[in-house]
Structure 1
Amino acid sequence: MWKNAIEDAILKVKNNIAKHPNKLPHIIEGQRYEWGENDDWIEGFYIGMMWLAYEYSHESSYKEAAESFLANFKDRVERHVALDHHDIGFLYSLSAVAQWRVTGSQEARAVALQAAETLYDRFRPAMGIIQAWGKEDDPENGGRIIIDCLLNLPLLFWAYEQTGERKYYDIAYQHALKSQKFLVRGDGSSYHTFYFDPKTAHAFRGGTHQGYEDGSTWTRGQSWGIYGFALAYRYTKDASFLETSKQMAHYFIQRLPEDHVVYWDFDVPLEEATPRDSSASAITACGLLELVDLLDVNDPDRNIFEKAILDSMESLVNKYATTDIEDAEGLLKHASYHVRGDRAPDDYMIWGDYYYLEALIRIQTGIKGYWYE
């Protein structure tokens, strides 16, 4: 089952490369992508899929396609094109860092280090956070963090490993600690976002941007936390991060619907038309795979997490994958972007496609993706 799913997925990547040369996918409604320029936060996922396809298949066409975008990503970071946000890690861990990991390219390494420096510049020392959105003096977002940022921290940890400059490690560690303290609730659920007062540095309030309401748990945010804290533990060996990841994983698993693929928020009233978010389940599968790899063989949570991985991935392959749609541009149906904002509540999400492929290939081959060596 896994092999067939992977081969269908990478064929779709190959078809997209051929049909949309030198273009990158953007989210749009209508069960398709809009293909355009490198000016959003999501383009790295597509390049990451090319690298996964190459590592799995060893077909040079995937490698050549991925490498062809490096100059584009280099130009973007040099000119600071649409980079006033924290998602620099999503963009460059899966493009430049991935290329360096696979090929040893020194040019890719240099681009990734420049990106890490750009992300470093978003750290706000008074609050001990990496600002999520906007410029430093942004009146609405000057003190805002969001849980998604945990998956951007590996770029900083990698930069520390490459350069020995402690500043990268220190701000990533500080931000992970702040996220743990203020974004994760006592029961293992999570806020999407938390706001600090930039003038006083005082913690102000938790809330949501894309979840159902401020006190609810947005499922994709929960998935970022599961995977993000597991990765933070891998880099820092701070055992509290591992425990937080496990706690968030249990919260997620205990609230799964019958088919093991989540709705867009754990607290939204369920109706026949309530949107799912298959991308959240794909991210969580990767996070659980990471946890299983980190836990002791005798840890009883391993069995729980391994069963959840199989249940969710089997459901994604059999009920949500586009294996029955030959010309599909996306890999997973029924993912949601911003339901509250009525933006693509039931469509393809390129990050869902990436994490679905990462999970499949990790299950089948042991290749772990590009978040760490």
Structure 2
Amino acid sequence: MICPHCERSLLRKERTGNTCSHCERRYALDPKTNPLRLNDLRVQRITAALTDNGRVRITPDQLWYALSRKRIGERGFAPGCAGGALVGAGFVTIWGLVAEASFVLYVSGALLATALGIVIARQLGAGGGILPMSRGAFRSEALAEWQRVYGSLPPGVVDNSGRPWPPRPAADSPNPNAVLVCPDPSIAVFLAANGLPDRHGIALVQGLEHVRALLPHLPPRGPVLVLRDADAGGELLVRRLRADFPGRPVIDAGVSLRTIRGLPQAVAYRDPVRKPTADEVGRLTALGEFSAEELKWLAQGWRFPLVGVPPVRLLSVLDRLAEQIGRSVDGERRDASEVGFMTWPGAAGDGPDPAGGR
């Protein structure tokens, strides 16, 4: 690996204890000792790309996905597994033929069967999409070590460990143009850190109960935006919101399942802990909107997360959508004001308040 400080190429014996033997400075990550095979220079390079060289701020989870993409796409069985089994089977077979030992030939057959099984499993996708390092482990191991060495997170990465969700809008804040539902706290912090809710007058919330509380403050056609992962839970969330608020526009601003599955650079992963239940799969099936292949994909727990969308692109798309909504809502409010729906006669103090001082 290359030393991030003096840029010398280091052999394994020249970097004992994560310390360069040439400049004697400590670095954070060694590709030989972490599951993502990270080194400091790669983290710096990927962080600069994600933040557009410091123009936007990102969260640790967005950095986690970008650094994990390559490893997630690899199969769980290493290429050498089948080859090793085949070589072993070859040696054992020769020995068995020479020694005329039937037991040894049985062992050879077992090794050959194992190698064939590994090859077939790899072709069928076994082991694919498994996380080499979870989000939590990335924070507690890789980023924690980075902070110990450098004293802070990589430039542009927001430390949201103490605030998993952005602060709620103040009670006296202006009425929002729209509500944005985002179940992923990491993406919510990302949007807040880059000023999107304040810039467009959007209330950023986490769940259905927050939407209900804000609906009376929205314009008549002020929409509910849903920003969610491409997975079983995300698909059901959109339908749930539309069913619960039939008179309100509900816009799916999340990742499109069909679009994302057709993009080679969009690497999905599986999380066995978060596989959908039989009831959830049944509800998805009953919708009649998904092909058999898509239902199988969702049922196996595959997902593409919002943190996998390039941050600059995500902000750009949401900015354009929010601008369209703002123009539409401003027109509604202007029309309502002209016919007196949102202002009281004499509001400037020309008489008593017809609402009785409320």
TM-score by length of 2: 0.28
Which structure has the larger Rg over C-alpha atoms?
2
Larger RCO, structures 1/2 (Cα 8 Å, 6+ apart): 1
TM-score by length of 1: 0.27
